[in-house]
Structure 1
Amino acid sequence: MPKNKADIAKSSSSSSADTVILDLGSYNAKLGLASNEAPKVLPNCIFKAKSEKKRQFISSQLSECKDQHQLFHMYPFSNGILTTWELEERILDYFFSDEVLNVNPKDCNLIVTEPCFNFQSIKRLFTEAVFEEYEFESAFICPPAYLSSQLFRTQNPLEPTCLVVDSGHSATHIVPVIEGAIAWHGVIRVPVGGKVITNHLKQRITFQQISVNEETQVINQIKELACFISTDLKADFRLAGDELSPLTRSCGLPDYVHHFDGYMRAVEETFERPADHEQLIRLTADRFVAPEILFRPSIIGDVRMGVAEAVADSIRRFSQETQLYLFRNIVLTGGCCLFPGFLERLKQEVGPEVPEFGEVEVIRLGDPLTTAWFGGKALAENTAFFEKMRVTRAEYQEKGESACEGKFVRPNCK
């Protein structure tokens, strides 16, 4: 179990120059020091297992659970919003302990993300914990899309304006960043993300093949391995109708002897009989119908906009000159952007909305899962800018919450 906060402070050997970068996603957290080459990607979750009722597994401790059948997940986030601070605090204790980062918060700066539209009460608790409980030397709090825009600006110094499409586990946020500042009137939240896709896939498999309603973790793994975004729905539906469709994939459930995770068979083994230890499911049309929810929420009865519509709607809220910059600098971040075909489909659907003489360009800055974290690293390395943006513990102790106004990137800040 993680140590208490006093133990965390005593057990560390980090220097005052360290900056902890923490991108808190609703499914995974990306964390590390600015001096690290890459972040750790760990579950932002606490697990209970049916096989070990007396113990809870915090984040990566799940690897110590021998039988992960019928896991119960406790997420601090709900629908893309941090709602249960007590759970997040336990996870943060673990992240800062010697089992993971092994840092002394008192000697560190912190760059940490929060959802675009979080409850004011949670924001207050979050800020208080940063300065009063963990006692970081200084901190900067912002949405992950802002950090992604910082990485874009670092790599494209002549392009100060971009549109960040942050499609994660619980929701998708469309965030225009104009001249380095979030234009809040253009931010749109689409309540569709990886969780909805996983749940839909579970329902389809349970209805058509075998019951997997209690195997969220496994179906999420299979979704990540097998699903893709169609760039030609009519053609893919025709292919899916063939008895031996080239789109069909066989996926296996873990037996916790030969396989400990969900897996996908090699393409050439798709139609071979299962081995004695294998329990297989076959996916064809569901491989692209489930993630199609991102672009057509009406599949699950939601009448709100899909991702491409939201992108176009957000951009139309600006002058034509600004629109041209936004259309040509659409930056993808978040786990759902890893679906094969996502970039091409978004460009395909947004293209007709571009004003005359404009162009649409959709960009990945490396791995969309860690784009925000690397944006935090770029921010930390821009020492002069970071000095202006951060709030020190001394400033917070003197001015309280008002010290954060105008610095932390929040809807009520300019």
Structure 2
Amino acid sequence: MTKFIIDNGAYSAKWGCSTDESPKLTPNYLTKSKNARETYVGSELDECKDFSGLFYQLPFQKGMLVNWDLERQVWNQIFKKSAIDLAQTQLIVTEPIFNFSHTQECLEELVFEELGLDGLIRINAPNLTAYKYLKNNSKDFCLVVDSGYSFTHIAPFYRGNIILEGIRRINMGGKHLTNYLKEIISYRQLMVMDETYVINQVKEELCYVSTDFELDMKIAKLKGKENRITRDYVLPDFANLCKGFAKSQQESTGIPLDSEQIIRLNNERFSIPELLFHPSDIGLNEMGISEAIVHSVESLSEEIRSDLYENIVLMGGNAKFSGFNQRVFNDVRCLIPSKYKLNVSTENDCLGCAWQGGKKLAENETEFNELIVSRKTYEEFGHSICKKKFDIIN
């Protein structure tokens, strides 16, 4: 029997068999080219020659799966590439925390009735990350910070079980950062409001989390070589250059060479990710990540706070920003009493850590078999048996 894992993120799906060393990544959306003549499903986007003005169609909206027609196309592509026998496959798939019951039922119908898979475990991504962390480190408690495309979740765990009253959600994620960067560049330099794909690459290559915001702002105001922050990004022309690239600090003069078209980033490099820690900068009445971590832990029993502060785990696409781990540590350290020890760790693969947790679960036959709902059981009891089993872990 094949065990297959899909970490079904709002921006990318991480997938593969439990026997694989690492997951494969597929864009979890459809894109249309500028002339709207070609549509690319998931990883078909690799075949695109011109990434300018791409139009996105996402199955997820505000972190929740709302368009099953689009999701079905992406999943069909994933299963076609994996070349597995669906009737002999058991699936571990992730869902958002506090997912809607109707969405859960649709997922189960797709898995059992349309695709005909043999079994299902429906679980949230932070739970799988916590499972892997607790098993690897022989711990009872951990606090998972999942900062992804649409939102950021803070979720405490005890022996693999989520502590519901400690969950916090911040409606700030990677798409907000990309959209804000588009606005800033369009206002200051060049109209790029339709260039989501390109500006997302700019963000990923050049942006970082500041560990000393005031100092970085002072440096950003300096001129010439004293300013170590300003960098140039060469935009693709999709003729001679299909993918843009960031110039080194020495090469970043602000003067384009030959036919180059450049974007020059200065304080935007660190002020954009700063939104994760101060969403109020763009008018969102939300806590920042560090504040939400403390708010989550302090809402729980005093007896377990020390264990949670010592086992904070960062995951998700935004955890890849340089300086993210250190910034969370610095901020939380300032907000909590000195009597608490603090440890903040980042998974080696921030995007694939939930998938790796699923792989570890699949390798534990006893726990896997306790959680799995088979197609035969589903046909007999329907959604009620899935709700009974999966609500315990979610």
**What is the TM-score of this pair, normalised by structure 1?**
0.92
Residue 114 of structure 1 is matched in structure 2 by 95
Residue identity opposite 1:224 in structure 2: E
More divergent stretch after superposition (36-45 vs 250-259): 250-259
Residue 339 of structure 1 is matched in structure 2 by 321
Distance in 2 between the 1:251 and 1:103 partners? 42
Deviations 1:39-83 (A, max 9, x none): 1112111000014x3331001101112222110011111111112
Residue identity opposite 2:263 in structure 1: I
- Whether the 8 Å contact between 1:85 and 1:122 is mirrored in structure 2 is no
More divergent stretch after superposition (126-135 vs 230-239): 126-135
- Whether the 8 Å contact between 1:324 and 1:354 is mirrored in structure 2 is no
More divergent stretch after superposition (258-267 vs 375-384): 258-267
1:200 partnered with 2:180: yes
SS in 1 for 2:99: coil
Residue 351 of structure 2 is matched in structure 1 by 369
1:155 partnered with 2:136: yes
- Whether the 8 Å contact between 1:221 and 1:261 is mirrored in structure 2 is no
1:68 partnered with 2:51: yes
1:89 alignment partner, one of 62, 72, 85: 72
- Whether the 8 Å contact between 1:48 and 1:73 is mirrored in structure 2 is yes
Residue identity opposite 1:175 in structure 2: A
- Whether the 8 Å contact between 1:406 and 1:413 is mirrored in structure 2 is no
Distance in 1 between the 2:72 and 2:6 partners? 13
Deviations 1:261-292 (A, max 9, x none): 23211222111632223110110100000110
SS in 1 for 2:37: strand
Residue identity opposite 1:152 in structure 2: Y
Deviations 1:76-113 (A, max 9, x none): 1111111212211111111111xx21122211110100
Residue identity opposite 1:140 in structure 2: I
Q: Displacement, 1:209?
A: 0.3
- Whether the 8 Å contact between 1:405 and 1:413 is mirrored in structure 2 is no
1:233 partnered with 2:213: yes
Distance in 2 between the 1:31 and 1:233 partners? 37
Q: How does 1:7-406 map to 2 (within 5 A)?
A: 16=1, 18-51=2-35, 53-97=36-80, 100-157=81-138, 159-244=139-224, 245-271=227-253, 273-355=255-337, 357-406=339-388
Distance in 2 between the 1:58 and 1:239 partners? 43
- Whether the 8 Å contact between 2:97 and 2:124 is mirrored in structure 1 is yes
Distance in 2 between the 1:91 and 1:184 partners? 31
Instruction: Give the superposed CA RMSD.
Output: 1.4
Q: Displacement, 1:356?
A: 5.0
* Unpaired runs of at least 5, structure 2: none
SS in 2 for 1:368: coil
Deviations 1:155-183 (A, max 9, x none): 112x1210000000110001111121011
Q: Moved runs in structure 1, 4+ residues, more than 2 A?
A: 352-357
SS in 1 for 2:184: helix
Residue identity opposite 2:363 in structure 1: E
- Whether the 8 Å contact between 1:226 and 1:287 is mirrored in structure 2 is yes
SS in 1 for 2:177: helix
Q: Displacement, 1:118?
A: 2.3
Residue identity opposite 2:4 in structure 1: V
Distance in 2 between the 1:272 and 1:253 partners? 13
Q: Displacement, 1:349?
A: 0.9
Residue 10 of structure 1 is matched in structure 2 by none
- Whether the 8 Å contact between 1:80 and 1:171 is mirrored in structure 2 is yes
Distance in 2 between the 1:407 and 1:83 partners? 23
- Whether the 8 Å contact between 1:79 and 1:171 is mirrored in structure 2 is yes
Distance in 1 between the 2:123 and 2:259 partners? 48
* Unpaired runs of at least 5, structure 1: 1-15
Aligned pair count reads: 392
- Whether the 8 Å contact between 1:176 and 1:186 is mirrored in structure 2 is yes
More divergent stretch after superposition (347-356 vs 230-239): 347-356
Distance in 2 between the 1:364 and 1:62 partners? 29
Distance in 2 between the 1:321 and 1:261 partners? 52
- Whether the 8 Å contact between 1:354 and 1:360 is mirrored in structure 2 is no
Distance in 2 between the 1:155 and 1:353 partners? 28
- Whether the 8 Å contact between 1:320 and 1:355 is mirrored in structure 2 is no
Q: Displacement, 1:220?
A: 0.3
Residue identity opposite 1:269 in structure 2: E
Distance in 1 between the 2:389 and 2:304 partners? 24
